[in-house]
Amino acid sequence: MIMNVFVPAAFGVAAISFLANFLAPPILVALTPLQPPPSDVIHCEGYYPPTEDCLPLGTTRPLWFKKKRSNGGCPQWQIDKQWGERGTFVSKLKYMESAAKEYEQILADITADDVAKLGGEDALKPLIWVRRERGVAWSRMQDGIIAGNSEFHSDVNVSGGGGDGRHKCWTDALLPLYVEEFGVKPSEDFIEFVINFDVESFREQLATLKKTLALQ
């Protein structure tokens, strides 16, 4: 049996916050928004039942009679390579994640003096931030494949009136290991969030930060 040593987001909020503070530079910790409440974290996109329940289902959509209470939430049941906005979704989420990682790196390198010159902590809070945790998770579709150790988070109300405005989070494995590789379709709520996310505002926030730092 393959053990999943990744701290489960649904019931490891305190541990995650501790590890984030332990592993990250002090300035980055100060600039990273607090962990969202447990009621929201439970809905983090990309978490699935244990490997022992999902791996036997394989890498394609299973036949209906294989569905059980224990494996009903496995990603194999969400495989749908033909869903309409998949291309737009993938492209946009890739940029969102890439920008969040770049923003994280910039924050990790700045000093306390930089923070003050840039308007303080509130002015530097990113629209999407990264939470990294100790340990790893394993793929629910491929035996022995590591599925990452990070989550992306956002408190932004999406533009255009879409989405429900709640805190959103998703794993770093969702896009490359499930959506892109096997055509797993995320929840409609998460798709709506990504499709309507204001990428231009995030791009502008990142560009302004880099430009301002370059002038220091």
148-152 long-range contacts, CB within 8 A, separation 24+: 148/172, 148/173, 148/177, 149/6, 151/9, 151/44, 152/96, 152/97, 152/100, 152/128
Torsion of CA 197, 13, 188, 79, to 10 degrees: 120
Give the per-residue pLDDT at 43. 74
Give the per-residue pLDDT at 117. 80
Give, for all 216 residues of the chain, the pLDDT tens digit: 433 433 333 323 333 333 343 345 555 555 555 454 444 444 799 999 999 999 999 999 999 999 999 999 999 999 998 888 899 999 999 999 999 999 999 998 888 888 888 888 888 889 999 998 878 899 999 999 999 899 999 987 644 444 455 789 999 999 999 999 999 999 999 999 999 999 999 999 999 888 888 877
Give the per-residue pLDDT at 165. 57
Give the per-residue pLDDT at 5. 37
Give the tokens for residue 106: 């910039």
Q: What radius of gyration, in Å, describes the C-alpha atoms of the chain?
A: 18
Give the per-residue pLDDT at 124. 87
Give the tokens for residue 28: 């980055």
Which H helix or E strand runs over 153? strand 150-154
